[in-house]
C-alpha cells in the first residue's frame, strides 16, 4: 500500500470551490473537482516511503476486525465573545462534518470562549463525567452529546473551560470531552501542561492565572484502535505522547490547539511531525481560525488573541497528509490505518528500545 494512496477532501466555507485531491507519492499528479465550495491546494511532496521495501514482522496491532480507514474532520472556525454564536457555529460544523462522511469530528481548543485568562471563569461550564449520556448539563456539552448521537459520529469536543466546585473552592480546567456515537462521554481530558510562557518580543501568557492543570493521561477505545487526546501545549511534551503509544498502543493522537503568531509559525507543524515520528502513529490537530484586530470583536472586553490556524493531519511517516491555512474551513482526511503497521514493521523502534538503560513510567494520581 502506498503512503497517501487514499483520497482526502478539503473543504472551506470562505471560498468558492472544492478540491478532492488524490495524493500519490509515486506521482506528482492529482485530480481535482470544483463545486460550490472551496479550499486551498494541499501540499504535495514525493515520499521516499514508496521506495522502501518493508520487512513484515508479526503485528502488534489486532487488525482482524479493525477498519482499514478512518475519515476525520477538523473544524476550524473563528471564536467570538458571544457564547451562543460559538455554539451555533460548532453545531453547523459538526453537521457539515457528518455531511462529508466523517466518522470522527474534532473541534478546536477553547471554542466557546475568548482565549483570555480572565474570560475562562466567566465562560466556564459544569461538564458531565465519564459514562454520562444525559443531555442535562451545560449548553456546550449538551450540544456535543446530541450531535454525536444524531450524527452517529465520534466527537472530540475541542476544549472549553470547565468549572468544578471542590471543598468550597471554584476550580477551572481546560477540558476536552470525547463522545461516542451514542452520545456517551468516553474520555474527559483536562489539559495537563498549562500554557505559561514569556517569549521576549513575542508573547506572554499564563493560563495558570485562572486555570488548574489536569492529572490524567487520556485515551479511549474505538473500532479503529486506541486514540489518545491532549490539548495544545500538551503536544510539546514527548513523554505524554510516548505513554499513549507505548502503554496504550494508540494509533492516533489528537490535539485540539490554539497556537499563536509567535509559536505557531516556528513550532506547530514541527511538533506534530515529531510526535508522529516518535510514536509512529497519525497526529491530528484542530485550531480556531485566525481573527485579526480588524475583524475581531470590537465590543469584546478581552484582549485579542490571534490563533495560528493550520489544522493538520500528519502520517506515521511524519508527512503532512492534509492541512489548511489560517482561514475558516473544514478539513476532511481519510486515514489509511494500514500505514501504521507498515511503518512500525519497517522501522521497529518499539522493539528496539533499550529498556535496560531507560524507561518511561505513567504515574497514577
3-state secondary structure of 55: coil
**Residue 79 CB-half CA count within 13 A:** 29
Query: DSSP strand E in the chain: where?
Result: 7-11, 19-22, 69-76, 104-106, 154-156, 160-166, 169-179, 185-190, 196-198, 204-206, 218-222, 225-229, 252-256, 282-286, 312-314, 320-323, 329-336
Active site residues: 109, 191, 232
CA–CA gap between residue 171 and residue 193 (Å, rounded): 16
At 119, give phi and psi (nearest 5°): -80, -30
CA–CA gap between residue 251 and residue 282 (Å, rounded): 6
Instruction: Give bridge partners of residue 133 from the DSSP assignment.
Output: none
CA–CA gap between residue 77 and residue 108 (Å, rounded): 8
Nearest partner of 285 among 140, 158, 153, judged by Cα:
158
Cell 489548511 sits on residue:
324
Cell 495524493 sits on residue:
23
Q: Which three cell numbers stand for residue 261?
A: 503568531
Q: Which residues contact 101 (CB under 8 A, 6 or more apart)?
A: 71, 332
Amino acid at each position: 500500500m502506498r503512503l497517501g494512496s487514499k483520497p482526502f477532501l478539503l473543504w472551506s466555507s470562505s471560498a468558492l470551490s472544492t478540491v478532492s485531491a488524490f495524493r500519490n507519492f509515486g506521482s506528482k499528479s492529482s485530480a481535482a473537482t470544483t463545486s460550490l465550495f472551496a479550499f486551498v491546494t494541499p501540499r504535495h511532496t514525493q515520499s521516499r516511503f514508496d521506495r522502501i521495501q518493508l520487512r513484515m514482522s508479526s503485528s502488534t496491532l489486532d487488525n482482524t476486525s479493525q477498519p482499514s480507514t478512518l475519515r476525520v474532520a477538523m473544524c476550524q472556525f473563528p471564536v467570538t465573545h458571544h457564547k451562543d454564536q460559538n455554539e451555533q457555529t460548532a453545531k453547523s460544523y459538526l453537521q457539515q462534518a457528518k455531511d462529508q462522511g466523517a466518522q470522527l469530528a474534532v473541534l478546536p481548543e477553547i471554542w466557546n470562549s475568548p482565549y483570555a485568562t480572565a474570560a475562562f471563569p466567566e465562560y466556564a461550564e459544569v461538564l458531565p463525567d465519564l459514562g454520562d449520556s444525559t443531555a442535562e448539563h451545560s449548553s456546550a456539552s449538551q450540544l456535543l452529546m446530541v450531535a454525536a448521537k444524531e450524527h452517529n459520529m465520534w466527537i472530540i469536543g475541542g476544549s472549553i473551560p470547565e468549572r468544578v466546585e471542590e471543598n468550597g473552592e471554584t476550580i477551572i480546567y481546560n477540558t476536552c470531552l470525547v463522545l461516542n456515537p451514542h452520545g456517551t462521554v468516553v474520555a474527559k481530558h483536562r489539559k495537563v501542561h498549562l500554557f505559561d510562557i514569556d517569549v521576549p518580543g513575542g508573547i506572554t501568557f499564563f493560563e495558570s492565572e485562572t486555570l488548574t492543570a489536569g492529572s490524567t493521561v487520556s485515551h479511549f477505545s474505538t473500532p479503529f484502535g486506541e486514540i489518545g487526546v491532549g490539548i495544545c501545549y500538551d503536544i510539546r511534551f514527548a513523554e505524554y505522547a510516548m505513554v499513549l503509544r507505548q502503554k496504550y498502543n494508540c494509533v492516533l493522537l489528537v490535539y485540539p490547539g490554539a497556537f499563536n503568531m509567535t509559536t505557531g509559525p516556528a513550532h506547530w507543524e514541527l511538533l506534530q511531525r515529531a510526535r508522529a515520528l516518535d510514536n509512529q502513529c497519525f497526529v491530528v490537530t484542530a485550531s480556531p481560525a485566525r481573527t485579526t484586530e480588524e475583524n475581531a470583536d470590537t465590543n469584546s472586553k478581552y484582549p485579542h488573541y490571534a490563533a495560528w490556524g493550520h489544522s493538520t493531519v500528519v502520517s506515521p511517516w511524519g508527512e503532512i497528509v492534509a492541512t489548511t491555512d489560517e482561514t475558516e474551513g473544514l478539513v476532511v482526511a481519510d486515514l489509511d490505518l494500514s500505514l501504521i503497521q507498515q511503518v512500525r514493521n519497517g522501522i521497529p523502534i518499539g522493539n528496539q528500545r533499550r529498556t535496560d538503560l531507560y524507561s518511561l513510567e505513567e504515574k497514577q494520581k
